[in-house]
C-alpha cells in the first residue's frame, strides 16, 4: 500500500496538471468570447459626454447610426462606458442594457452608416475581429486572472489537504472569473448580446465578492489561527448572500458591490493588524504577514489612488477597471508568497525596498503637484525641483533608515578584518569560543548549538529561523537559531556576512598554520643540530672531565636537551628529565656534603616544555635553598605517578617560618608551577618538605622526543 506522502504527491501532480489544463481552457474560452463580438472598420470613443468616431486620421462627433436592422439610433456616451456598474442608478443601468440590445441588433448587419456632425456620412463595414485588435483593456485583466489562477492552483497542488491552500485557490478562482468576464465586456468594440452581458456582470460581481470573502477567511486562520476553521468557512460562503443581494438589487445601486469590496478591505486591514499582534513572537509568521501586508498596502493604495483621481476628475464612469486588476495581482502575489512561505527570510528586506520606492514615488508626485498647482511653477521646473528634493532629502534619509532597520549590526570591512585577525591569532583551543561569541554578538540568537556534520559555508535553514555555520571543532558545525532575540529571521545579508567572515578567518588560519609548519621544520633542524653536534661534544667532554668540571658539563648537557625540546615544542620522556634533574641535584648536594636518597623512575609518561622548565627550575631552586639555608645532612626525594607527577623533597635541616618566604624564591616557585598547570606546597617542621605536582601524559614517543 502506498504511503500517505506518495498519495499526496500523486494527488498534487494530478491537481497541478488539472489546473494547467483548466488555465488553458479558460484562456481559450475567453479569447473565443472576445473574438466573437462584432467589430467594424472604425472605433467609437466616448468623451466629453459625446461619442466620436475615429478611423485612421479622421475623428468626428457621431450624431446618429443606421442600417437595415435599425433605422436610426442616436448613440450616447453612456453606451460606451467601460464599467456599466458605475452608473448612478438601476434605472440608468437598465437603460444601458436595453440600448445594448439595440446596438447588438444593429451590429448583426454587414455595415453601419455613421452620421457625423459637419462631415460626410461614413459607412463602416463589418470585419473579423483578430487577436491584434484586442486592446490592453482586454489583455490586462485576462493575463492577470490566468496568472493568479495558475499560481493559486500550483500552491494548492503542493499542499492539497490544507485549508489555507484551498482558501487561496478559491481566492484565485474568484479573481479569475471576475477578471475574465470583465475582459470580455469591458473591451467590447460596440455591443454585447444582453443575456451574455448580464451573465458576465454576474460573474464579475460574484468573483470580486469571492475574492474578498476568501481573503478574510484565509486571514482568520493564517499565519496564526485566530478562530476555528468553521468560522473561516462561514466567512468564505458569505459570498452567497452577497451575490443574492446584488442580483435582487438590495445593495442600493449597480455599484453596490464596490461598497462591499470596501468593507472587505477594511476587514482585511483589521485582520492583518490582529495577525501582527498574534505573530509578534513568531518570526516566520511575522515574515509571512509582511509579504501579505506590504502587497495589500501597495495594491490597495494604488487602486484607491486611481479611484480618487477619476473621482476628482468628475467622471468616475471613465475609470477603466482593467487597471484595478494590476493592483489585485500585487495583492495576490503577496498572498501566494505568504501561504507558500516563499523565501520568508527575505520578506523584511523586500518589504523595506518596496515601501521605500513606493514612498519615493508618492513623494515625487505630491511635490510635483504642489509645485505646479500651489507654487504655480511650470511642469518642467516643478519636475526638476521635485527630483532634486527627493535626491538630496529623501534618499539620504532612506539610506540611513535602511542601515539602521534592515542591515542592523552589519560590520564594515575594518571591523570584520579586526574580528577575523583576533580569532586567527587566538590559541587554537580558544578559537571555537571566540567564533561563537562573535556570532552571538552580531546576531543575538536565542540559541547557539553544536551539531554533528561539517559545513564549508554558512547556509540558511528552517525558512530563516536557523543559520548553520562552520565550526573549528572537526566533525561539527554551529546552528544559530532565532536571531535578534527571537524577533527576526536570518536572511541573505546575514548569510553573506558570515561567509565573508569565515573566508577571512579560514584563510588566515591556513596561512598561520603554513608559517608555523615552516618555522617548526626550521626549529627541528636547529634542535637536531644542537642535540647531535653540541650535545655530542659535551658528552665527549664529560667522559674525560675531572670532578670539578663534570657537574658543569652535566648541567650544560641537560640545558641543551631542555633547549632542544623547547625548540621542538614537543614533549620529553619524564624518566629522562627526572634522571637529568637527579644527576644535577646529586652532584650539587654531594659537593656540599649532603646525602641524597632518590630512587630512579621507570615510566612511559611525557612532559611538555613548560612543565619541564618548571620542574628543572623548581628543583634547582629547592636544592639551592637547602645548600644555603637548611644545615641539613640528608635529602630524601620521593616520586609518585598518580593522576600526574608528585615529587616530594624533604630535608632534615632546621626549617623556617613558611609565612616569611621573601628572598628565598619560594613564592616564585608557586607561581611557576601554577602557570604550568600544577601546584607547589611547602611545609616546615623538622626540616622543610616541598611537594611539587604536575600533570603528565602517557603516550608513545617518536623522533626527537625520545632523545637519549
pLDDT tens readout for residues 218-257: 889 988 899 998 999 999 999 999 999 999 999 989 988 8
Average pLDDT on 674-702 reads: 81
Measure the CA–CA gap between 264 and 266, rounded to whole angstroms.
Answer: 5
Answer with the residue of higher pLDDT: 614 or 291: 614
Instruction: Tell me the per-residue pLDDT of 206-221, one tens digit each, with 9 for 90 and over.
Output: 999 998 999 899 889 9
Instruction: Tell me the per-residue pLDDT of 534-587, one tens digit each, with 9 for 90 and over.
Output: 666 666 676 667 767 767 766 777 677 666 666 655 677 888 888 888 888 888
Note the pLDDT of residue 344.
45
Nearest to 272 by CA among 214, 234, 223: 223
Measure the CA–CA gap between 102 and 70, rounded to whole angstroms.
Answer: 8
- Select the highest-mean-pLDDT range: 1-10, 342-351, 410-419, 509-518: 509-518
Nearest to 704 by CA among 600, 560, 512: 560
Q: pLDDT at residue 486 above 50?
A: yes
Note the pLDDT of residue 232.
93
Cell of 588: 650539587
CA distance readout (Å), 556 to 518, 543, 580: 28, 14, 11
The residue to which cell 449597480 is assigned: 254
Measure the CA–CA gap between 35 and 29, rounded to whole angstroms.
Answer: 10
DSSP per residue, 155-174: HHHHSTT-HHHHHHHHHHHH
Note the pLDDT of residue 703.
44
* 627 — pLDDT class (breaks 50, 70, 90): confident
Least confident segment among 34-48, 294-308, 625-639: 294-308
Instruction: Tell me the per-residue pLDDT of 42-63, one tens digit each, with 9 for 90 and over.
Output: 888 888 789 999 887 788 899 9
Burial (CB count <10 Å: 0-12, 13-18, 19+), residue 186: buried
* 372 — pLDDT class (breaks 50, 70, 90): low
* 197 — pLDDT class (breaks 50, 70, 90): very high
Burial (CB count <10 Å: 0-12, 13-18, 19+), residue 535: buried
Mean pLDDT of the chain: 80
DSSP per residue, 306-333: HHHHHHHTT-GGG--THHHHHHHHHHHH
Peptide bond into 419 cis (omega under 30): no
Q: pLDDT at residue 662 above 60?
A: no
In the chain, what's the furthest Cα-to-Cα distance?
148
Note the pLDDT of residue 456.
85
Determine how many CB atoms are found less than 10 A away from the CB of residue 442.
19
Percent of the chain with pLDDT over 90: 19
Average pLDDT on 446-474 reads: 85
The residue to which cell 564594515 is assigned: 412
Measure the CA–CA gap between 148 and 573, rounded to whole angstroms.
Answer: 78
Give the H or E element holding residue 543: helix 535-544
Note the pLDDT of residue 353.
58
Q: pLDDT at residue 608 above 70?
A: yes
Contacting residues for 568 by C-beta, under 8 A, at least 6 apart: 520, 523, 524, 527, 704, 705
CA distance readout (Å), 315 to 82, 88, 99, 617, 694: 12, 12, 21, 102, 96
Q: pLDDT at residue 301 above 70?
A: no
Note the pLDDT of residue 704.
42
Q: pLDDT at residue 470 above 70?
A: yes
Note the pLDDT of residue 92.
92
Note the pLDDT of residue 390.
73
Is the alpha carbon torsion for 492, 497, 498, 503 positive or negative?
A: positive
Q: pLDDT at residue 688 above 60?
A: yes
Least confident segment among 95-104, 341-350, 499-508, 688-697: 341-350
* 526 — pLDDT class (breaks 50, 70, 90): confident
* 282 — pLDDT class (breaks 50, 70, 90): confident
Nearest to 26 by CA among 167, 172, 171, 215: 172
Average pLDDT on 17-38 reads: 94
- Select the highest-mean-pLDDT range: 170-179, 508-517, 522-531, 561-570: 170-179
Cell of 110: 454587414
Measure the CA–CA gap between 539 and 708, rounded to whole angstroms.
Answer: 11
Note the pLDDT of residue 86.
85
- Select the highest-mean-pLDDT range: 7-11, 72-76, 379-383, 492-496: 72-76
DSSP per residue, 197-249: HHHHHHHHHHHHHHHHHHHHHHHHHSSS--S-HHHHHHHHTTHHHHHHHHHTT
Average pLDDT on 435-447 reads: 84
Answer with the residue of higher pLDDT: 189 or 326: 189
Q: pLDDT at residue 674 above 70?
A: yes
* 708 — pLDDT class (breaks 50, 70, 90): very low
φ and ψ of 681, to 5 deg: -120, 135
Which residues, listed in sequence order, are joined to residue 598 by a DSSP beta bridge? 637
Cell of 431: 578559537
Determine how many CB atoms are found less than 10 A away from the CB of residue 20.
14
Question: Strand 122-127 and strand 466-470: pairing?
Answer: unpaired
Cell of 269: 486591514
- For the chain, list the domains and their CATH numbers: 4-38+144-341 (1.20.1070), 40-133 (no CATH), 343-407 (no CATH), 413-502 (no CATH), 545-706 (3.30.565.10)
CA 485 to chain centre: 15
* Overall pTM > 0.75: no
SS (H, E, C) 37-57: CCEECCEEEEECCEEEEEECC
Q: pLDDT at residue 347 above 50?
A: no
Query: In what side-by-side order are the strands of the sheet with 50-55?
Result: 39-40, 122-127, 111-116, 58-66, 50-55, 43-47
Note the pLDDT of residue 325.
65
Instruction: Tell me the per-residue pLDDT of 352-367, one tens digit each, with 9 for 90 and over.
Output: 555 556 566 666 666 7
* 706 — pLDDT class (breaks 50, 70, 90): very low
Contacting residues for 132 by C-beta, under 8 A, at least 6 apart: none
- Select the highest-mean-pLDDT range: 9-13, 236-240, 318-322: 236-240
Answer with the residue of higher pLDDT: 150 or 296: 150
Amino acid at each position: 500500500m502506498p504511503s500517505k506522502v506518495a498519495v499526496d504527491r500523486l494527488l498534487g501532480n494530478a491537481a497541478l496538471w488539472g489546473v494547467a489544463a483548466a488555465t488553458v481552457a479558460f484562456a481559450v474560452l475567453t479569447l473565443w468570447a472576445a473574438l466573437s463580438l462584432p467589430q467594424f472598420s472604425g472605433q467609437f470613443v466616448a468623451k466629453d459626454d459625446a461619442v466620436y468616431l475615429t478611423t485612421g486620421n479622421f475623428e468626428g462627433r457621431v450624431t446618429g447610426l443606421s442600417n437595415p436592422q435599425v433605422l436610426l439610433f442616436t448613440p450616447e456616451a453612456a453606451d460606451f462606458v467601460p464599467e456599466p456598474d458605475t452608473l448612478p442608478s438601476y434605472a440608468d443601468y437598465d437603460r444601458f442594457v436595453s440600448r445594448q440590445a439595440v446596438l447588438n441588433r444593429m451590429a448583426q448587419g454587414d455595415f453601419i452608416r455613421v452620421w457625423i456632425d459637419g462631415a460626410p456620412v461614413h459607412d463602416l463595414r463589418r470585419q473579423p475581429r483578430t487577436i491584434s485588435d484586442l486592446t490592453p483593456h482586454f489583455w490586462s485583466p485576462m493575463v492577470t486572472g490566468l496568472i493568479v489562477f495558475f499560481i493559486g492552483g500550483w500552491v494548492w497542488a503542493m499542499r492539497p489537504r490544507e485549508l489555507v491552500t484551498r482558501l487561496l485557490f478559491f481566492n484565485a478562482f474568484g479573481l479569475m472569473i471576475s477578471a475574465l468576464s470583465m475582459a470580455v465586456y469591458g473591451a467590447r468594440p460596440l455591443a454585447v448580446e444582453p443575456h451574455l452581458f448580464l451573465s458576465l456582470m454576474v460573474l464579475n460581481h460574484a468573483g470580486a465578492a469571492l475574492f474578498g470573502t476568501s481573503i478574510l477567511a484565509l486571514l482568520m486562520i493564517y499565519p496564526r489561527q485566530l478562530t476555528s476553521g468553521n468560522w473561516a468557512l462561514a466567512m468564505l460562503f458569505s459570498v452567497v448572500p452577497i451575490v443574492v443581494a446584488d442580483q435582487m438589487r438590495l445593495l442600493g445601486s449597480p455599484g453596490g458591490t464596490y461598497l462591499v469590496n470596501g468593507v472587505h478591505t477594511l476587514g482585511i486591514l483589521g485582520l492583518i493588524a490582529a495577525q501582527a499582534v498574534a505573530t509578534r513572537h513568531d518570526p516566520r509568521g511575522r515574515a509571512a504577514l509582511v509579504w501579505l501586508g506590504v502587497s495589500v498596502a501597495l495594491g490597495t493604495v494604488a487602486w484607491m489612488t486611481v479611484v480618487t483621481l477619476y473621482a476628482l476628475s468628475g467622471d468616475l464612469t471613465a475609470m477603466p477597471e482593467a487597471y484595478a486588476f494590476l493592483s489585485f495581482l500585487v495583492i495576490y502575489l503577496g498572498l501566494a508568497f505568504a501561504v507558500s512561505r516563499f523565501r520568508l527570510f527575505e520578506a523584511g528586506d523586500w518589504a523595506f525596498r518596496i515601501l521605500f520606492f513606493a514612498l519615493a514615488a508618492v513623494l515625487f508626485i505630491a511635490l510635483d503637484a504642489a509645485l505646479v498647482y500651489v507654487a504655480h511653477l511650470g511642469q518642467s521646473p516643478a519636475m526638476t525641483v521635485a527630483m532634486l528634493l527627493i535626491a538630496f532629502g529623501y534618499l539620504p534619509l532612506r539610506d540611513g533608515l535602511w542601515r539602521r532597520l534592515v542591515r542592523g549590526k552589519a560590520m564594515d570591512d575594518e571591523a570584520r578584518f579586526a574580528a577575523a585577525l583576533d580569532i586567527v591569532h587566538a590559541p587554537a583551543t580558544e578559537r571555537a569560543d571566540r567564533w561563537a561569541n562573535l556570532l552571538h554578538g552580531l546576531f543575538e540568537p536565542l540559541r547557539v548549538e553544536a551539531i554533528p556534520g561539517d559545513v564549508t559555508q554558512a547556509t540558511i535553514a528552517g525558512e530563516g529561523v536557523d543559520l548553520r555555520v562552520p565550526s573549528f571543532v572537526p566533525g561539527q558545525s554551529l546552528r544559530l537559531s532565532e536571531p535578534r532575540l527571537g524577533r527576526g529571521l536570518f536572511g541573505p545579508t546575514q548569510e553573506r556576512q558570515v561567509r565573508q567572515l569565515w573566508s577571512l578567518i579560514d584563510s588566515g588560519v591556513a596561512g598561520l598554520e603554513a608559517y608555523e609548519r615552516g618555522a617548526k621544520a626550521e626549529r627541528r633542524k636547529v634542535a637536531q643540530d644542537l642535540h647531535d653536534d653540541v650535545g655530542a661534544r659535551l658528552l665527549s667532554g664529560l667522559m674525560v672531565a675531572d670532578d670539578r668540571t663534570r657537574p658543569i658539563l652535566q648541567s650544560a648537557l641537560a640545558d641543551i636537551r631542555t633547549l632542544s625540546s623547547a625548540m621542538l615544542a614537543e614533549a620529553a620522556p619524564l624518566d629522562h628529565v627526572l634522571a637529568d634533574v637527579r644527576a644535577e641535584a646529586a652532584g650539587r648536594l654531594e659537593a656540599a656534603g649532603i646525602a641524597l636518597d632518590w630512587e630512579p623512575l621507570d615510566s612511559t609518561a611525557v612532559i611538555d616544555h613548560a612543565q619541564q622548565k618548571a620542574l628543572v627550575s623548581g628543583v634547582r631552586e629547592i636544592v639551592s635553598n637547602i645548600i644555603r639555608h637548611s644545615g641539613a645532612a640528608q635529602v630524601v626525594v620521593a616520586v609518585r605517578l598518580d593522576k600526574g607527577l608528585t615529587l616530594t623533597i624533604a630535608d632534615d635541616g632546621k626549617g623556617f617560618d613558611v609565612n616569611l618566604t621573601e628572598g628565598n624564591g619560594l613564592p616564585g616557585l608557586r607561581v611557576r608551577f601554577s602557570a604550568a598547570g600544577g601546584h607547589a606546597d611547602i611545609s616546615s617542621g623538622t626540616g622543610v618538605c616541598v611537594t611539587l605536582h604536575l600533570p603528565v601524559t602517557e603516550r608513545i614517543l617518536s623522533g626527537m622526543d625520545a632523545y637519549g
